[in-house]
């Protein structure tokens, strides 16, 4: 991996909507951002109790467990897009409806430790994939959900999406 290619993406490398996630990432290097986030996020999540996992900050909102499952699903989807585009696959990829994914899952039936373990395993797989990319893969682009996105933008989106939802868990669910 080359720092010159795993750097923060330019604004034309992603849909404006994702700028809010990318802005939450303080690191300039994508892999470092994902590693630092893992090192902060996993210990915090492992300390959450089953009762905290069941919390909803308002009626009709996801539980902490569902939020955690959503973060894992989102990372899977974004990483898959990065794999396809990083390998030069130009097949347009569809979007996904996160609400349908959560509704179709049974996250509340799983233990917090199992959900955290699933996210940790996904993050390790994500990191292994990004670490293995050739320098030219980072700037490749493809179409997802009708919009162009670069591989490096997807790496920053994954990290920013994690930061976004960790903030929601702290501020709305746990008020910490």
pLDDT of residue 49: 98
Output the average pLDDT for the chain: 96
| 176 — pLDDT class (breaks 50, 70, 90) | low
111-132: pLDDT as tens digits: 999 999 999 999 999 999 999 9
Both tokens assigned to 138: 């980072």
How confident is the model over 82-108, as pLDDT tens digits?
Answer: 999 999 999 999 999 999 999 999 999
The arithmetic mean of pLDDT across residues 73-78, rounded, is: 98
Q: pLDDT per residue over 21-36, tens digit each?
A: 999 999 999 999 999 9
- Report d(CA 135, CA 105) in Å as an integer: 36
pLDDT tens per residue, range 38-49? 999 999 999 999
Cβ distance 138 to 87 under 8 Å? Answer: no
How far is it, in rounded angstroms, from Cα 167 to Cα 67?
A: 11
Domains of the chain with bracketed CATH: 13-174 (1.20.120.450)
pTM (two decimals): 0.95
């Amino acid at each position: 991996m080359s720092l010159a290619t795993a750097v923060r993406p330019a604004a034309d490398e992603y849909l404006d909507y994702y700028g809010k996630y990318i802005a939450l990432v303080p690191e300039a290097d994508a892999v470092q951002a994902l590693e630092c986030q893992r090192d902060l996020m996993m210990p915090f999540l492992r300390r959450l109790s089953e009762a905290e996992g069941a919390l909803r900050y308002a009626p009709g909102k996801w539980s902490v467990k569902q939020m955690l499952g959503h973060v894992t699903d989102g990372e899977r989807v974004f990483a898959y897009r990065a794999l396809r585009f990083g390998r030069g696959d130009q097949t347009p990829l569809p979007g996904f409806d996160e609400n349908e994914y959560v509704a179709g899952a049974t996250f509340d039936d799983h233990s917090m430790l199992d959900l955290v373990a699933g996210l940790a395993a996904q993050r390790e797989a994500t990191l292994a994939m990004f670490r293995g990319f050739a320098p030219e893969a980072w700037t490749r682009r493809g179409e997802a959900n009708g919009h162009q996105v670069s591989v490096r933008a997807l790496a920053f989106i994954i990290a920013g999406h994690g930061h976004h939802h960790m903030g929601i868990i702290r501020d709305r669910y746990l008020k910490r």
